[in-house]
């Protein structure tokens, strides 16, 4: 499906992207804390939705 090099690139890209997003979140949260109140609820919702979709996929596979 993917070559070894493509997999390495994808993983490194994802880690770099995640790192940049986390750093920007921290900077923005310090400068504008009112916009980030309750943001953990959104993250929790995404994690729950992803878990439900993954569970449905696993249970419906043959």
For residue range 4-58, what is the model confidence (pLDDT) as tens digits?
999 999 999 999 999 999 999 899 988 988 888 888 899 899 999 999 999 999 9
What is residue 49's predicted lDDT score, i.e. its pLDDT?
A: 97
Spell out a b/e string for 15-39, using b for 16 or more CB atoms within 10 Å of the CB, else e.
Answer: eeeeeeeeeeeeeeeeeeeeeeeee
Q: Which residue ranges make up each domain of the chain?
A: 4-60
User: What pLDDT score does 40 carry?
Assistant: 86
Record the pTM: 0.60
């Amino acid at each position: 499906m993917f070559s070894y090099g493509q997999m390495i690139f994808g993983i490194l890209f994802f880690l770099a992207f995640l790192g940049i997003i986390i750093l920007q979140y921290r900077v923005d949260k310090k400068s504008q804390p009112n916009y980030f109140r309750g943001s953990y609820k959104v993250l929790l919702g995404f994690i729950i939705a992803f878990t439900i979709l993954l569970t449905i996929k696993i249970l419906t596979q043959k």
